[in-house]
Amino acid sequence: MSDATLPHTPRAWRRRMWALSWPIMLSNATVPLVGAVDTAVVGHWQDPAAIGAVAIGALIFTCFAWIFGFLRMGTTGFIAQAWGAGALAEVSATTVRALLLAWLLALSLLLVQLPLRELALGILGADAGVATLARQYYRVRVWGLPAALTHLVVLGTLFGLQRMRAALVTQLVLNGLHIALALLLVRGWGWGVPGVALATVLGEYTAAGLGAWLVWRHLQRLHCPWPRKGLVDRQRLRVLWHVNANLLLRTLCVQATSFAFTATGARLGTVTLAANAVLMHFVHVMTFSVDGFAHAAEALAGRAYGAGDRPAFRAALRSAMVLAALVAMGFSVVYLVAGRTLIGWLSGLDSVRTAAAIYLPWAVLAPLVSVWAYLLDGIYLGATRTTEMRNGMVLALAVYGLCVWVSLPHLGNHGLWLSMLIFLLMRGATLGWWYPRLERCLA
């Protein structure tokens, strides 16, 4: 089916949704697999502090990427809508604006890198041994930020243009190179935690350069004119600020939850921290895979929204819901049947394996609970309706904090996992409640 047309039947919509989703699912699945390899290469040392340090160090930079994830999310929605409306000059202008913003943000982060490091480590509250190794990781990884933020813009543009296979290529290069270098630098040369960080940085710069070239090539194929006057359009800049500010606040709420989860686990002990890190790889693999349908729905719904096509907008949601639910159930079955084996692959420490097995049922439930939040995120992002996303996330965070406060003294780490799943459930429930309001905008 041509990218220039939207499907006309439910079956055609599902086929199109799958065609757009599978490259994202494959590329996204490699992201947490990289983290799993990082855990594995240091997880067979006789020191759980190494696992905790890589988990905490990677979490800090994952937070940076997620906090500035509006560079990807906002870009996709704006480009999909501009393409649907036939405004090709705005497609180019959106890409250039996002790139300039990414480079400005990366420079700002580099200038304040040391205070940010100490603030993050202080919030996470790891013990002295873990914190020392995490600083080594940070010292290397921070220099990859310009490439990492550029890559977010690259993905946003490619997703908006429904060029999912090109996005897949950049992700496979990034993650494949990272895995190969991590094995070489850590297992082969014994560089330890800094070697893991260096492997990431080298992969990020390679992927950013390749991705920028792919974006330029696809814009040329669409005959998108080079932006000259539209870059400083005040109305578009106001809309950009509104959307990105909402996405930033929403993402800060997500990261506050993630930081709180990791920090609380750290205070429950190094072994609990390591066990949670192992199980969160299960959650991340599922999340990034199911998120493929959200990204595809984002591109299709965004284009339908830009064209004012309400039936197409509805069809994008329905087709994504069916496919995403099936995949989420598949992950739950795999984790139920093979969860203990997967834990063994990720850590050779008996104490960590035993603790992770105790909390495994929460990882089994996570796909069934969280799939709706990720899917509806994609629909709202395609429409760039970020006010509802912001409000729902603030409410979910408040509920999460209450649940932790109530359950942690009585249930310990089980209460922490219960609170996380309630947070994910609340995200989906609030967006579902407000969905009729979104559709009315296309009436």
Residue 44's pLDDT band (boundaries 50, 70, 90)? low
Report yes or no: 360 and 414 within 8 Å, Cβ to Cβ: no
In a domain, 200, yes or no: yes
Q: Using N-to-C axis directions, what is the helix angle for 310-346 and 360-382, rounded to 10°?
A: 150
Percent of the chain whose pLDDT exceeds 70? 92
Percent of the chain whose pLDDT exceeds 90? 26
Report yes or no: 220 and 163 within 8 Å, Cβ to Cβ: no
Q: What count of residues does the chain have?
A: 443
Cα separation, 238 vs 402, whole angstroms: 35
Following DSSP, what letter does each residue of 22-39 receive, concatenated? Answer: HHHHHHHHHHHHHHHHHH
What is the model's pLDDT at position 365? 93
The average pLDDT across 208-216 equals: 93
What is the model's pLDDT at position 65? 80
Residue 31's pLDDT band (boundaries 50, 70, 90)? low
Average pLDDT of the chain is 84
The average pLDDT across 350-364 equals: 88
What is the model's pLDDT at position 281? 82
The average pLDDT across 399-404 equals: 93
What is the model's pLDDT at position 5? 58
pLDDT digits (tens, 9 = 90+) for 301-321: 888 888 888 888 888 888 888
Residue 412 reports pLDDT greater than 80? yes
46 phi and psi, to 5 degrees?
-90, 50
In a domain, 4, yes or no: no
> Which tokens is 247 given?
């996405």
In a domain, 423, yes or no: yes
In a domain, 185, yes or no: yes
What is the model's pLDDT at position 46? 46
Residue 391's pLDDT band (boundaries 50, 70, 90)? very high
In the chain, the number of structural domains is 1
Comparing 123 with 374, the larger pLDDT belongs to: 374
What is the model's pLDDT at position 118? 80
Cα separation, 190 vs 42, whole angstroms: 10
Residue 414's pLDDT band (boundaries 50, 70, 90)? very high
pLDDT digits (tens, 9 = 90+) for 321-344: 888 899 899 999 999 999 888 888
What is the model's pLDDT at position 2? 40
What is the model's pLDDT at position 337? 92
In a domain, 2, yes or no: no
In a domain, 328, yes or no: yes
Q: Residue 229 carries which DSSP code?
A: S
In a domain, 221, yes or no: yes
In a domain, 1, yes or no: no
Residue 29's pLDDT band (boundaries 50, 70, 90)? low
The average pLDDT across 20-47 equals: 69
3-class DSSP assignment, residue 129: helix
348 phi and psi, to 5 degrees?
-100, 5
What do you get for the CA distance between the two ends of the chain, in Å?
27
pLDDT digits (tens, 9 = 90+) for 85-124: 777 888 888 898 889 889 999 999 999 888 888 887 777 7
pTM reported for the whole predicted model: 0.80
Q: Using N-to-C axis directions, what is the helix angle for 192-221 and 128-141, rounded to 10°?
A: 40
Residue 36's pLDDT band (boundaries 50, 70, 90)? low
| Three state DSSP letters for 37-69 | HHHHHHHCCCCHHHHHHHHHHHHHHHHHHHHCC
Which is nearest to 24 in space by CA: 159, 175, 160?
A: 159
Residue 43's pLDDT band (boundaries 50, 70, 90)? low
- Sequence-ordered list of residues with C-beta below 8 angstroms from that of 409, at least 6 positions apart, any chain: 415
Residue 260 reports pLDDT greater than 90? no
pLDDT digits (tens, 9 = 90+) for 128-186: 777 777 888 888 888 989 999 999 999 999 998 989 899 889 988 888 888 888 888 77
Domain that holds residue 273: 10-440
